[in-house]
Amino acid sequence: MSSASRSSVGSVADCDFCAIGRGEDDSAEIICEGDNWVAFFPLEPATPGHTLVIPRVHAPDLWSIEASIGSELMRAVIRVGRAVELALSPDGMNLITSSGSAAEQTVFHLHLHVVPRWRNDAIGNIWPPEKPMSEVVKENLADRIREACVSVVDGEDAGEP
């Protein structure tokens, strides 16, 4: 998804997560927060302790956020993850974010899922995929991505102003 199409998905005015970030949604169960982020329980948690961490500023997904906000958001995710681990002692934990409908994103405001996991929980196995990737598809992927990394500096496309 290009940055142009990402920026047009959703808006601050109709974004439920922006309302939570502004403190305008009393139904959100806030877990903790900082100046630029909020952590809260989703309406339909996948497991006990499943927590969403969002930036207060509107950004459709991880790939459209400013690097400085992304860095602060990751510190928040680590804090929340450690708190979940301390409070619940899960067997493991997933950190998940989605970008675009093909990745099953349904709320177009960046959110990171901190999902505590237990053996035999309701989620089941999410990796590895049932069918391995073909060698034809894998061929040259590393070279293509390495080449693209050269044009990205600190999470920003070097070609954009």
Rounded average pLDDT per 10-residue block, the chain, 161 residues: 45 88 93 97 96 97 94 98 98 96 94 96 85 83 88 66 43
Residue 161 in any domain: the answer is: no
Catalytic residue among 50, 58, 109, 111: 111
- What's this model's pTM, rounded to 2 decimal places? 0.85
**What pLDDT score does 1 carry?**
42
What is the C-alpha to C-alpha distance for residues 48 and 114, in angstroms, rounded to an integer? 11
Q: Does residue 137 lie in a domain region?
A: no
* CA–CA dist 41, 134 (Å, integer): 38
Q: Is residue 16 part of a domain?
A: yes
Q: Tokens 């619940």 label which residue?
A: 88
User: Is 48 domain-assigned?
Assistant: yes
Instruction: State how far the Cα of 85 lies from the Cα of 15, in Å rounded to an integer.
Output: 30
Asked about 58 being catalytic, the answer comes back as: no
Count of domains in the chain? 1
Provide the CATH number for the domain around residue 36. 3.30.428.10
Residues in the chain, overall count: 161
- Give me 139's structure tokens: 């061929």
Q: Report how far apart, in Å, the C-alpha atoms of 154 and of each of 23, 30, 67, 139 are.
A: 30, 30, 6, 27
Say which amino acid occupies 17: F
Distance CA 72, CA 79 (A): 11
